[in-house]
Amino acid sequence: MSNASSAGVHRRSLDDAPVRVVSARANLRTRLRNLWSRRELLTSLIFSDIRIKYKNSALGIFWSMLSPALTLGIYDLVFSVITKNGYPDFALYLFSGLVVWNMFQNAVNMATGVIVDRAGLVKKVSFPREILALANVGAAVVYFVIQLGVLVLFMLALGRSPAWGFIWILPISFITLYLLTASVAIVMSAVTVYLRDMKHLMEVLLQLWFWLSPVVYSYQHTIAQRLHAHGLTWMYFLNPITPIIITFQRIFYVKTNVVSTNVGHPMLNILPQWTMSTFFYMNISLLAIMVVIFLLALTLFGRLEGNFESEL
Amino acid sequence: MTTVIEVQNISKNFKIHHERNQSLKERLLHPRSGSTEIFPALSDISFKVSSNETVGILGHNGSGKSTLLKCICGVLQPTSGQIRLRGNLAALLELGAGFQTELSGRDNVFLYGAMLGLSKKNVEAIFDDIVAFSEIEQFIDTQVKFYSSGMYVRLAFAVAVNVDPDILVVDEVLAVGDERFQAKCIDRIRTFQEEGRSILLVTHQADQVRALCDRAIVLDGGLMVANGPVQESLRIFREHLLEDAAELDRTGARAEISIDSVTTPSGSFDVKSGSGIHFDVNLTSHGAYSGNFMMELFTRSGLLVSRSDAQGSPVNLKPGPNSVGVDLAQIPLLDGVYDVNVGIVDHHGTVMAWREQAASIQVSYNGREGGIVELGASITQQ
């Protein structure tokens, strides 16, 4: 790099260089533009986070599979073998819901403390702070993709195929899941700066949230009628992750009515018998809501970020 | 000349919690306990920096200079006002703050580059320069946690100065590293100056400002008290230091001594090189004090030529007007104007009275030597 030539280029380019403004509050459009312009930082952070996590371990990223595999095994043992819920291929049913839940839980768990943990960075280097939370979500997406791959292998081993007719809804559902996860992660990362207890509270809340979502049990089979009788179905569906989980189960578990493996072999209505258009409209309207929530989350983050320096 | 930094009416207030209630339980049980106080760290600061300019920001600890710098770098949001920046900015704040100790030096260069806003391709292009500058080729694939602190700082500095910034912000980092590396850093800053980049140098070392800056801004208690030529700003900086010292002073001596003027018997400060000069420093004291008299001599480009004192024998000031005589028997200096600073320092070394640029001596020289001092060299062949 010759100094003389770089200096020449340097002087010429400065007059029409873009002007950056640092002010008390950036509007939403500026925030989104800043985020977009730093997308390379986001990818670097995602992969450096993953690399750091498994840096000195021999099995590396396979550890990210161990915990979900164990969860899957335990739930399968408890609900299918011990308490005999009678769902055929229960492991597949569990797996289709767990990929969704794991991504959400992973991202939120990691992101909740991320700004507090990286205080040194936040106080010294300038970049859009929400990128730290988004990098955690990105890492969770990577694990999600790996688990999805394992899910596909699992289906091949069982000789099952997905609901091909529904599979085009999967991207919509995934983007919805991403926006939901990112919104919660962004808000929690900022709130934890002010209320350090959030990290512990969130662990408890996530457990509760898990059991409010139809991952290990079937919404349709176990509680749909009871909720309907009390007119509380809408309340159950306030949980935005539920429609996403049901969509994934519909796509990967496929069957809505199955023959129970228990004595007498009664028919089980395991998944809602909604039509394709019902699934489409449910997912697309949820996506619209999540876009709004994501923008609200960014706005809230912007409000909270102003005082990070004095709180960290 | 393009304006690259435009600071418009920046204010920054900090909330000071007198009792920190950061747990949810505390907040729920005692929502009103603990008071918060608003502390204005910066009040209504405005200035501009053009391309091709090196500006020093001076201020003692707590004057708000770091806060101002963090606002300019975008680490902190100002409470009101805005800063407009043109071109990309590299900050040498806390070096290596962006490093992940678990990753190798190589990975960290890429990560830090991304944090400073560079694409992967850009970092690849300058990667070799960075490694060469940092002088740690051997260890570039070692995890950063095994680096010595010197290697750590060198690598961080190398990344920051090689990212081709339009604006370089330097915050007292020149105090790190060994002397050779410091010289290398200063050298790099001078190259930047020649290339017409803007540099913002934050320090409380007046010497560095004299040596590097075209202009200086002085902050005191969050207010901008000077923005102008280096000499003038340094004078104001010293005066504010004195005022602050006076507030802490129990004996009240500092407020009571003032240096009124410096005079010569002939009234002229012109002197021939090699001859001497005598001048009188006229002071007014409001009490009887004893302290050490000090004198500094600077070139116009800010180089300290000499600092001397009364060699252990204190001057005893009586109430009323006093006069201290300074006799420079022989001035071996070459052509030029030299500024004289005079002051009185107590036995702890704290300044009781100070006057920056109290006089200027004009030295004329008609010999053959160049530089600032005549050594009287004679060259013979043997």
> For the segment A1-17, what is each residue's pLDDT rounded down to a tens digit?
334 434 444 444 566 66
pLDDT averaged per 10 residues, chain A (length 312):
42 63 78 87 88 76 82 88 85 93 94 89 83 94 92 91 91 96 96 89 93 90 86 89 94 87 82 90 96 95 82 75
B251-364, superfamily in CATH? abc- transporter (atp binding component) like domain (2.70.50.60)
Q: Which domain holds residue A171?
A: 39-311
Element (H, E) at B85: strand B80-86
Please give the pLDDT value at position B80: 87
Chain A contact for B294 (CB, 8 A cutoff): no
Which residues in chain B are closer than 8 Å to A6, comparing Cβ atoms?
164, 195
Residue A32 within any structural domain of the chain: no
Chain B contact for A305 (CB, 8 A cutoff): yes
* Domains identified in chain A, total number: 1
Chain A contact for B120 (CB, 8 A cutoff): yes
Chain A residue closest to B171 (CA)?
A124
Model pTM greater than 0.90? no
CA distance A21 to chain B (A): 5
Q: Where do the structural domains in chain B lie, given as residue ranges? A: 3-232, 251-364
Please state the ipTM of this predicted complex: 0.74
Chain A contact for B129 (CB, 8 A cutoff): yes
Ramachandran assignment for B267, one of left (phi > 0), alpha (psi -120 to 50 degrees), beta (any other): left
From first to last of its 382 residues, chain B has per-residue pLDDT tens of: 788 888 988 898 887 766 655 666 766 766 655 667 788 888 899 999 988 889 999 887 778 888 888 888 888 888 888 888 888 787 776 666 678 888 888 888 888 888 877 888 888 998 998 888 888 888 888 888 888 877 888 888 888 778 778 888 887 656 666 677 777 777 888 888 888 888 888 877 777 788 788 899 998 888 888 888 888 888 788 777 766 665 555 445 555 788 888 888 888 888 888 888 898 998 888 888 888 888 888 887 777 888 888 776 788 888 888 888 888 888 888 888 888 888 888 777 677 788 877 888 888 888 778 888 888 888 888 8
Residue A278 within any structural domain of the chain: yes
Handedness of CA A242, A151, A172, A113 (dihedral sign): positive
Task: Name residue, tokens 């489409």.
Answer: A280
Residue A202 within any structural domain of the chain: yes
Which residues in chain A are closer than 8 Å to B94, comparing Cβ atoms?
120, 124
Residue A154 within any structural domain of the chain: yes
Chain A contact for B119 (CB, 8 A cutoff): yes
| Tokens found for residue B176 | 């790190």
Which residues in chain B are closer than 8 Å to A307, comparing Cβ atoms?
15
Nearest to B75 among A40, A41, A124 (CB): A124
User: Which residues 23-52 in chain B show a CB within 8 A of chain A?
Assistant: 23-25, 27, 51
Residue from B217, B227, B161 nearest B192 by CA: B161
Tell me the C-alpha distance between A294 and B5, whole Å: 33
Q: Do B115 and A127 touch (CB under 8 A)?
A: yes
Please give the pLDDT value at position A7: 42
B3-232, superfamily in CATH? P-loop containing nucleotide triphosphate hydrolases (3.40.50.300)
Beta strand extents in chain A (DSSP E only): 19-23, 257-259, 267-269
Which residues in chain B are closer than 8 Å to A127, comparing Cβ atoms?
115, 117
Chain B contact for A123 (CB, 8 A cutoff): yes
Q: Do A197 and B24 touch (CB under 8 A)?
A: yes
Contact pairs from chain A to chain B, CB under 8 Å = 136
Q: Do A48 and B103 touch (CB under 8 A)?
A: yes
Residue A155 within any structural domain of the chain: yes
Nearest to B166 among A17, A125, A310 (CB): A17
B303 neighbors B372 (Cβ within 8 angstroms): yes
Q: Do B2 and A126 touch (CB under 8 A)?
A: no
- C-alpha pair distances (Å), A200 with each of A137, A211, A305, B367: 19, 18, 21, 80
User: Which residues 29-88 in chain A show a CB within 8 A of chain B?
Assistant: 38, 40-41, 44-45, 48, 51-52, 55
Please give the pLDDT value at position B20: 58
